[in-house]
Each structure stands twice: as structure tokens, then as C-alpha cells.
Amino acid sequence: MTMIFGVPLPALMGQLLVGLINGSFYALLSLGLAVIFGLLRVINFAHGAFYMLGAFAAWMLLAYAGIGYWGALVLAPLIVGVAGMAIERLMLRRLYGLDHLYGLLFTFGLALLLEGTFRHFFGTSGQPYAAPEALRGATNLGFMVLPNYRGWVVAASLVICLGTWAVIEKTSIGAYLRAATENATLVQAFGVNVPVLLTVTYGFGCALAGIAGVLAAPVFQVSPLMGSNLIIVVFAVVVIGGMGSILGAIVTGYMLGIVEGLCKVFYPEAANIVVFVIMAIVLLLRPAGLFGKDS
């Protein structure tokens, strides 16, 4: 058997794949956080709860309406996005003129509320959600066996991340968004409806978390606690990358997922904390983050 640094190659590749999967979710979630923070200046603590909501929406669509994975992949993010827009419109909007910390505290309360509600009705044990027919089974790549669904998760998240990046950097809607991020008052003076832009952006960020939730449903179990465990790691990812750039959030997400996966091979005891250790080191060397522009 081929060995690399005393570790069998399939084991190394297996953990790399797990790392890449986790990295896909880190990237999708930190991308949504970065998009929301860029325009609204709100750290969306409820992002993990929206991710959980996406997974539960997929599960409920199947359980109560008989709508399968592919339908859920479209509908669940829509549901989550609309829920996000309603919350922005009715409540979050009132906090814009205040210190940014209030946005964080409000969304923290929202996360507790959502998580508590789902825990009340579904308990803490997870609900299983099967991968779609077309993506079951595995492909032998020669050096390792790749479960098809896992390959799909990595490919889909890459496409969504790069697509989002392209929309923000290359289209006119993206140009409005970037302009409003720089100076919202001036953009409004040019006749762009900034309040609507804010609502749509928040909804879009939440929908990204919803897509991540649907993608995650067959990999992990659908559980009320799936978001809160993830969101703190994603916060660390966001601090490491810096909120400055969209591409930075994506790259940092994948990178840290892979680092975490490698850590599981070479020093498993530290796998849970490696992201936080990297965060501390980055803060000491480059307080603005790897891709951050602000200080």
C-alpha cells in the first residue's frame, strides 16, 4: 500500500475528502456571512439556524409533501430566503442606525428561538435524509473510492460559490451591491432602491445558508443542533479570511476545511481546535485577516 508520511494513501485521501466537504460548507456559509456583512454591517448569528432551517425544509418537503431532493434543492433555499427577507423587513431593519453589536445580539436571539423551536418539536436526535437515487453509490478513482454524493457536494458548492462571486463582480446588480457597500447614501441618491437591495441581500445570504443545509442533509443527519455547532467555526473562518473580499471568504473556507481534514490524520486530538489556533496565529501576525483590507 502506498504510504505518505507513514499514513496509508486511501486514509489520507479519505480525510482530505472529509475536509473538502466541511470546507464546502464553511465556504458557502462564510460567503453568505460576508455578503450580508458587506452591505448590512450585520454579523448574522442566525446563519447556522438558517442552515438548519434549510435542511429541515428539505426533510419536511419530503415527509409532508412528497417533494424529493431536486425539488427541495430549489424550494428549500427559497423558503429560507423568504423567511430571511421577512425578518429583515419586520425587525432587523429597525437596528440599522444603531451600534453593529445590536444586530449580532438580535440574530443571536433569533438563532436561539429557531433552534429551541425545532428542538421542542423534533428532539435533539437527528432525522435521516437519503441521498437522491442518481447520486448513490461510489466511483473508484484508482487511488481512492469516492462516494458520488460527496463528490456532488464539493462540485455543487464550488459552482454556487463561483457563481455568486461572478454575479457580484461581473453583473450590474452586483455593481449596485458593491456600490451600496461602499456608500449606501450616494447610491440611493442615484435612484437605486437601497432598502429593497438590503432586504434582497439578506434574503440571498440566508438562501445560501439554506442551500448549504439541503446539501448537508444527506451527509449529516437533519438535527436542530447542526447549525449552532458549525456557526462558531465559520465565525473563526471569517475572522481568518477577513470580511474584505468575497473570494477571500470562499478560499479561506475550503482551505480551513482541508487543514482540519489533514489534522485529523496527523494529530486527531487537535482537529476540533485547529481552526481556532490558526485564527489566533493570524490575529497575532495579521490582525485584519488574510484577505482583509480594513484594520
Partner 1 sequence: MSATRIDTAGMPARRSAAPALILLAALVAALLIAPVWIYPVFMMKLLCFALFAAAFNLLLGYTGLLSFGHAAFFGGAAYVSAHAMKVWQVTPEVAILAGIATAVVLGLVIGAIAIRRQGIYFAMITLALSQMFYFFCLQAPFTNGEDGIQGFSRGRLFGLVDLNDTMNLYYFIAAVTVLGLLAIWRIVHSPFGQILKAIRENEPRTISLGYSVQRYKLAAFVMSAALAGLAGSLKALLFQFATLTDVAWNMSGEVILMTLLGGIGTMAGPVVGAAILVGLQNFFATSGFPVTIVLGATFMICVLLFRRGVVGELAHWLESRKA
Q: How far is the CB of 118 from partner 1 (least distance, A)?
A: 10
Q: Which of 40, 56, 115, 255 binds partner 1 (CB under 8 A)?
A: 115
Residue 110 in contact with partner 1, rule: CB under 8 A: yes
Residue 66 in contact with partner 1, rule: CB under 8 A: no
Q: Which residue has the cell 429597525?
A: 94
Cβ(276)–Cβ(35) below 8 Å = no
Quick one: 60 or 225, whose CB is closer to partner 1? Answer: 225
DSSP code at position 126: P
Burial 269-288 (b: 16+ CB within 10 A, else e): eebeebbbebbeebeeeeee
Residue 293 in contact with partner 1, rule: CB under 8 A: no
Sketch the per residue contact string, 174 through 203, with partner 1: x for CB under 8 A, - otherwise: ------------------------------
Sketch the per residue contact string, 203 through 232, with partner 1: x for CB under 8 A, - otherwise: -------------------------x---x
Q: How far is the CB of 253 from partner 1 (least distance, A)?
A: 15
Residue 113 in contact with partner 1, rule: CB under 8 A: yes
Residue 277 in contact with partner 1, rule: CB under 8 A: yes
Residue 123 in contact with partner 1, rule: CB under 8 A: no
CA 149 from centre of chain: 18
Residue 259 in contact with partner 1, rule: CB under 8 A: no
Quick one: 44 or 201, whose CB is closer to partner 1? Answer: 44
3-state helix, strand, coil in the chain (%, to 5): 75, 5, 20
DSSP code at position 69: H
Angle between helices 194-216 and 148-170 in degrees, nearest 10: 170
Q: How far is the CB of 172 from partner 1 (least distance, A)?
A: 30
Nearest Cα to Cα of residue 281 among 252, 245, 239, 218? 239
CA dihedral 28, 231, 257, 241 (to 10 degrees): 80
Q: How far is the CB of 280 from partner 1 (least distance, A)?
A: 5
Sketch the per residue contact string, 19 through 48, with partner 1: x for CB under 8 A, - otherwise: ------------------------x-----
Q: Which of 5, 99, 128, 172 binds partner 1 (CB under 8 A)?
A: 99
Residue 4 in contact with partner 1, rule: CB under 8 A: no
Rg for the chain (alpha carbons), in Å? 19
DSSP string, 261-285: HHHHHH-GGGTTTHHHHHHHHHHHH
Residue 109 in contact with partner 1, rule: CB under 8 A: yes
Interatomic CA distance for residues 192 and 195, integer angstroms:
9
Nearest Cα to Cα of residue 210 among 48, 86, 68? 48
Residue 238 in contact with partner 1, rule: CB under 8 A: yes
What does the binding site for partner 1 look like in residue numbers (CB under 8 A)?
Answer: 43, 91, 94-95, 97-102, 104-106, 108-117, 119-120, 228, 232-233, 235-236, 238-239, 269, 272-273, 275-277, 279-280, 283-284, 287
